[in-house]
């Protein structure tokens, strides 16, 4: 964890933007897959629920950008870590390596960045 009192503004800023980029990438990836599911051949009501939740997650990322606080980013990064970890579990259940390892890697990277940033 990076302690603000021992860090230069630049160092904290770099960690903030790295964590923000990973969190935003995670939320936008979820939104992209939700949109794809809604437009795909097997679209159903579950795709609509997925899309509504994905829009809310992107909204959370926008709020983090607006308030620009470490604590808000930390909470959003943890939420996206859980989302991506659960997406990896779904990938395991459908035996799809890309849908397992991609979300798992994003979850690990986002969690690492959040823990380095600290609440």
What was the pLDDT predicted at 37? 84
> Which residue bears the tokens 């823990």?
115
**Region for residue 3 given its phi and psi (left: phi exceeds 0; alpha: psi -120 to 50; beta: otherwise):** beta
CA atoms within 13 A on the CB side of 32: 6
How sure is the predictor about 10, in pLDDT bands with cuts at 50, 70 and 90?
Answer: low
Q: How many CB atoms lie within 10 A of CB 107?
A: 21
Contact 72, 64 (CB under 8 A): yes
pLDDT tens-digit series, residues 53-73: 999 999 999 999 999 899 999
CA atoms within 13 A on the CB side of 34: 22
Cβ within 8 Å of residue 50, ≥6 positions away: 33, 34, 37, 38
What was the pLDDT predicted at 4? 43
């Amino acid at each position: 964890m990076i302690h603000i009192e021992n860090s230069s503004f630049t160092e904290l800023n770099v960690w903030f933007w790295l964590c923000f980029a990973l969190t935003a990438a995670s939320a936008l990836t979820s939104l992209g897959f939700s949109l794809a599911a809604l437009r795909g051949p097997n679209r159903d009501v579950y795709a609509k629920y997925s899309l509504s939740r994905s829009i809310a997650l992107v909204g959370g990322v926008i709020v983090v950008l607006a308030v620009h606080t470490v604590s808000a980013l930390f909470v959003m990064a943890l939420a996206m870590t859980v989302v991506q970890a659960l997406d990896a579990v779904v990938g395991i259940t459908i035996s799809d390596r890309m849908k397992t390892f991609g979300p798992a890697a994003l979850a690990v990277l986002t969690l690492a960045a959040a823990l380095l940033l600290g609440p």
